[in-house]
Amino acid sequence: MTPLHQVIKNKNTKIKPIWIMRQAGRYLPEFREIRKLNPDFIKLCLNEDLSSEITLQPLKRFDLDAAIIFSDILMLPYGLNQKVEFKKNFGPILGQININEISKISETDFVEKIFPVYKALDKVSNNQITSNKNTIGFVGAPWTLLVYMINQQSPKKDLKHDFFEDKNLIKKILSILEKFLMIHIKNQVKNGANVIQIFDSWAGLLQGKDLENYIYFPTLNLVNYVKSLNVPVICFPREIKNYKKFCEVVKPDAVSIDYNVDPKQILKDIQIPIQGGLDPKVLLSDKENLKKETIKYLDIFKDHPYIFNLGHGVLPETDPNMMDHLVKIVKDY
């Protein structure tokens, strides 16, 4: 059994596997080289030769326990024919949503439009490098995708003032998302994904009753669907106020924590396997501090099923040597 599966399925506490969110990305010179020649990010994700090569780049450098497919959560609205663009130094920009058009999209249309993502997964999972390692497929959680689809850009600055105005529209989008997220997950699993991570990057924007409507119930449906495929599911409800409640309601197989979570407290609150936590900024400091902070997490989760990861994606300005150092610290522990 792969190290990640041993931790998630068998609750093994003796091994501490490691993979890193955004491990394939801009901090790697070999990625930047490919990226320079491929200015259109969506096209790059839809080039199965390049996207599978990019996926494997970090595994060639570091002794990581999983590959995460090089794609994006916004390939889902793209597959639904919403316009999606990535502007340099700004982030994603989406076109206005046309609910009548989106409602007409069939499973075949959708799968055809993003088919290279599945081909890339097939390539990665069949590559020698990933034998006895996991290939992680992923989706955005319904709430986070809803945010991008209605807000049309990152909510980093703010949600549109009238975001919640058209409740009927929101209901329709959530129902379409549920259908196509399941289709997207099913095809990733069919092509070799053996862990699914659900990224709810904007879970922290909500509280109270909204949590139930937009996070707990839609995510629970998705988690139950992944479980029905016999594949472990990891949830990352970033910056949610109450991880304990989230885990009690949604019951993922493992939960990924952000860097604002107190690791000692979460250890008392949560019984399921835990992943992540370390602040990505620690990789921008020095080796001594990196070691101290990494060992802190490993010590706290010594007797708990734990997968090492960061509390959010690796920053583009990270020195690959620091990443190398981090992986070695975890492997030598």
Q: Which two tokens stand for residue 304?
A: 């708990």
Q: Cβ(330)–Cβ(16) under 8 Å?
A: yes
Residues lying near ligand 1CP in the complex (CB under 6 A): 21-26, 35, 41, 68, 70, 72-74, 86, 91-92, 138, 154, 156, 199, 201, 313
Whole-number Å distance between alpha carbons of 217 and 195: 21
- Of 12 and 47, CB closest to ligand 1CP: 47
Q: Which is nearer to ligand 1CP, 12 or 201 (CB)?
A: 201
Q: What is the phi/psi pair of residue 90, to 5°?
A: -130, -45
Instruction: Round to whole Å and give the CA distance between 238 and 241.
Output: 9
Q: What tokens appear for 98 in the block?
A: 């046309």
Q: 24 vs 322, which CB is nearer to ligand 1CP?
A: 24
- Closer to ligand 1CP at the Cβ: 113 or 304? 113
Q: What is the DSSP string of 207-225?
A: -THHIIIIIIHHHHHHHHH
Cα–Cα separations (whole angstroms), residue 200 to 46, 67, 143, 257, 291: 23, 20, 7, 11, 29
Least Å distance, CB 314 to ligand 1CP, is 8
The answer to whether residues 26 and 57 touch, using CB atoms and an 8 Å cutoff, is no
**How far is the C-alpha of 191 from the C-alpha of 118, rounded, in Å?**
6
Q: How many angstroms separate the CA atoms of 333 and 302, rounded?
A: 10
- Beta strands (DSSP E) in 12-102 are 66-68, 84-87, 91-94
Nearer to ligand 1CP, 26 or 113 (CB): 26
Tokens found for residue 43 = 């096209």
Where are the extended beta strands (E) located within the chain?
A: 66-68, 84-87, 91-94, 134-140, 195-199, 233-236, 254-257, 274-276, 306-307
Identity of the residue, 3 or 58, whose beta carbon is nearer to ligand 1CP in the bound complex: 58
- The residue (of 12 and 23) whose beta carbon lies closer to ligand 1CP is 23
Nearest to 285 by CA among 239, 330, 326: 326
DSSP state of 308: B
Closest distance between ligand 1CP and the C-beta of residue 282, in Å?
17
Nearer to ligand 1CP, 12 or 130 (CB): 130
Residue in the structure block whose two tokens are 């095809």: 187
Q: For the CB of residue 104, give the shortest distance to ligand 1CP in the complex, in Å.
A: 26
Provide the minimum distance between the beta carbon of 306 and ligand 1CP in the complex, in angstroms, as a whole number.
Answer: 19
CB of 268 to ligand 1CP, least distance (A): 26
- By beta-carbon distance, which residue lies closest to ligand 1CP? 154
* Min dist. Cβ of residue 130 to ligand 1CP (A): 14
Nearer to ligand 1CP, 51 or 294 (CB): 51
- 81 vs 84: CA distance, rounded Å: 9
**Shortest Å distance, C-beta 169 to ligand 1CP:** 21
Helices (H) and strands (E) in the chain, counts: 16, 9
Least CB distance from residue 15 to ligand 1CP, whole Å?
22
What is the closest distance, in whole angstroms, from the C-beta atom of residue 303 to ligand 1CP in the complex?
A: 28
